[in-house]
Chain A
């Protein structure tokens, strides 16, 4: 279960609405490397992990990703709240506005709706942990690209926080991969069997 805390993990205080930035940043809500996918990925994968430490890290990182979904949504909300009709027409957000107005809908910047086809949960310990390491790097890349396209310091600040968290999570997943490999009976061949399914 989860208990909601009525605060953001990191503050978001954007003074100037800017729907052009929302149109880009929405990818980190519902895009292929976004926070909603991250939460779904880790919170689903943990059930087949044989090691208690790895179940712990997937639970805690997955939970933190839910807080990141909220941070990205807060950024999008503040960037689009009170936008003028002129801004809707000229910022490029008109194709989103037509279906969602200034509501929050998880999709990629390209317009593709959020889909779990962008995550993996294979039931295989090594495949899942490699997926997680790659996922943290892909999310970091998207945040780097967002930082290249954004000039408002009020927006950059929480984006930099989220970017840094990808790096910390990568570190923890790298340790998890080490833990998983150490537990394999045949350490010379990591890929001989799936410790979550095969009986050795």
Chain B
């Protein structure tokens, strides 16, 4: 697994944890343990997302901040297999 795949996998793992925990919090909004865990996940997610976008292009439109080209349409779409 190359660095891009590793970072993406970490990002997917963190986001999955946030999706699942967020749904748990919808029905358990006063659970302090879950709230604190969510906060930690969110902080790491932001940091990993920033790192990924800087090196490999946007996850959300505008991410990565290339001043010369709109990278949003230049990097592969998620269903494309690497050649």
Q: Chain A residues in contact with chain B, CB under 8 A?
A: 3-14, 53, 56-57, 60-61, 64, 70, 73-74, 77-78, 81, 168-169, 172, 175-176, 179
Report yes or no: B12 in contact with A10, Cβ–Cβ below 8 A: yes
Asked whether B51 is an interface residue with its Cβ less than 8 Å from the other chain, the reply is: no
The answer to whether A168 and B23 touch across the interface, beta carbons within 8 angstroms, is yes
B26 and A172 form a contact (CB under 8 A): yes
Interface positions, chain B 20-49, Cβ under 8 Å from A, are: 20, 22-24, 26-29
Identify 5 new A-B residue pairs, CB closer than 8 A, beyond the known A5-B15, A70-B78, A175-B28. Answer: A7-B8, A9-B19, A57-B26, A60-B26, A64-B19
B69 within 8 A of A: no
Asked if residues B81 and A175 are in contact (CB atoms below 8 Å), the reply is no
Judge whether A74 and B16 touch: CB under 8 Å: no
Residues of B within 8 A of A (CB): 8-9, 11-12, 15-16, 19-20, 22-24, 26-29, 58-61, 72, 75, 77-79, 81
Kindly list chain B residues whose C-beta atoms are within 8 Å of the C-beta of A78. Answer: 79, 81
Report yes or no: A172 in contact with B23, Cβ–Cβ below 8 A. yes
Q: Pick from A4, A7, A53, A73: contact of B61, CB below 8 A.
A: A4
Contact A74/B19 with A4-B61, A53-B27, A175-B27 known, Cβ cut-off 8 Å: no
B12 x A5 contact (CB < 8 A)? no
Set B16, B26, B78: member contacting A6, Cβ < 8 A? B78
Chain B residues with CB under 8 Å of A14's CB are 81
A4-B23 CB under 8 A given contacts A13-B81, A70-B78 = no
Provide the residues of chain B in CB contact with A5, threshold 8 Å.
15, 59-60
